[in-house]
Amino acid sequence: MRIYQSEDYTAMSRRAANIISAHVILKPNCVLGLATGSTPIGAYKQLIDWYHKGDLSFSETRSVNLDEYVGLSPHHEQSYRYFMQSNFFDHIDIKPENTHVPDGLAKDPDAACAAYNQLIRDLGGIDLQLLGMGHNGHIGFNEPGNAFELETHQVTLADSTIDANARFFASRDEVPRHAMTMGVKNIMTARKILVVVSGEDKAEIVCKAFRGPVTPEVPASILQLHPDVTVVGDRAALHKLAEAGETLCG
Ligand code: F6R
């Protein structure tokens, strides 16, 4: 695991975008595993900027997103499909048919999850999986206690996740209670993983996840066992790791 410390959110985002763009340049038809949430937005902005400058093209790139709320249409402003369109896909030259997000309106979510696993296999697996991390250590919607062996599946959201996401909805009651998410197994079979973390509020869980025991109680801790993980964080998110003696790259 390589851990890069950047001064602030902007520098962290630029570094994450650099890593993603290197993949796209070296393998234009690569499969990117993508994440929503607030942390990767700066990296997406930077990639859009480089695309507009002509430094980068996504015309052959394929993408698979980690997760989606069950019950939200792609046009719902809080759906993850909507997030990806408005924060990234609508601003670059990726072909719409090459972008994949679990279908929140699937009549049979379990069948849709199985089909998503098959899709990932048909694409040849994920070259680079981008991840954010929740305050409880969740990755995707893999909440504490979820089995590590699962592939894409339907989950009931933890109360803490509903609380954290309530800020995006008119009220807490409107936050969907279920989601479809790639499982830890899908994530761990990605060839490379890039984790982005930002802010003091992540410092504690970052330390637990990357220096604590590997346990389903901290889903991101499994990443310690992946052979090719890069963590990119800002000083605020990484300072507890540094204080605990972890070597950070500058
Ligand atoms: C997003 C996702 C989540 C977020 C996590 C961190 O697709 O699967 O696991 O990465 O909740 O979210 P932020 O970046 O908003 O702190």
Nearest residue to 6 (alpha-carbon basis) of 199, 180, 219, 186: 199
Average pLDDT, the chain: 96
133 pLDDT more than 90: yes
Q: State the average pLDDT over residues 96-115.
A: 97
Q: SS3 for 34?
A: strand
Confirm whether 97 is a catalytic residue: no
Question: What is the token pair recorded at 179?
Answer: 């989601």
Q: Could you give the percent of the chain with pLDDT greater than 70?
A: 100
Q: Tens of pLDDT along 76-97? A: 999 999 999 999 999 999 999 9
Report CA-CA distances (Å) from 181 to 11, 35, 138. 29, 11, 11
Confirm whether 138 is a catalytic residue: yes
Angle in degrees, CA 18, 19, 24, rounded to 5? 95
pLDDT for 177 equals 94
Distance (Å, whole) CA 115 – CA 125: 14
Q: Which of 68, 100, 103, 136 is catalytic?
A: 136
Cβ burial of 232 (10 Å; 0-12, 13-18, 19+) is buried
Q: β-strands 178-181, 67-69: how paired? A: antiparallel
pLDDT for 165 equals 82
Q: Could you give the percent of the chain with pLDDT greater than 90?
A: 91
51 pLDDT more than 90: yes
pLDDT for 147 equals 85
Assign 12 a pLDDT band (cuts: 50, 70, 90): very high
pLDDT for 199 equals 98
Assign 160 a pLDDT band (cuts: 50, 70, 90): confident
Question: Which one of 138, 152, 181, 195 would you pick to mutate in the ligand 1 pocket, going by the greatest count of ligand atoms within 8 A of its CB?
Answer: 138
pLDDT for 79 equals 96
Confirm whether 143 is a catalytic residue: yes
Q: Tens of pLDDT along 192-222? A: 999 999 999 999 999 999 999 999 999 999 9
Report CA-CA distances (Å) from 249 to 18, 111, 113, 148. 15, 43, 37, 29
Question: What is the token pair recorded at 216?
Answer: 């389903």
**Tokens 């991840």, located at residue:** 131
Whether ligand 1 lies within 6 angstroms of the CB of 133 is answered as yes
Integer-rounded Cα radius of gyration of the chain: 17
Backbone angles phi and psi of 64, in degrees to 5: -130, 125
Of the candidate ranges 161-175, 179-193, 202-216, the one whose mean pLDDT is the lowest: 161-175
CA atoms within 13 A on the CB side of 78: 17
168 pLDDT more than 90: no
Whether ligand 1 lies within 6 angstroms of the CB of 36 is answered as yes
The ranges assigned to domains in the chain are 2-243
Q: What stretches of 30-94 adopt beta strand conformation (E)?
A: 31-34, 62-65, 67-69
pLDDT for 113 equals 97
Q: β-strands 229-234, 192-197: how paired? A: parallel
> What are the counts of helices (DSSP H) followed by strands (DSSP E) for the chain?
8, 10
Q: State the average pLDDT over residues 46-73.
A: 97
Distance (Å, whole) CA 34 – CA 31: 9
Q: State the average pLDDT over residues 230-247.
A: 95
State the angle between helix axes of 41-52 and 9-26 in degrees (0 to 180), rounded to the nearest 10.
50
Q: SS3 for 154?
A: strand
DSSP code of residue 157: P
- The CATH number given to 2-243 is 3.40.50.1360
pLDDT for 226 equals 98
pLDDT for 250 equals 80
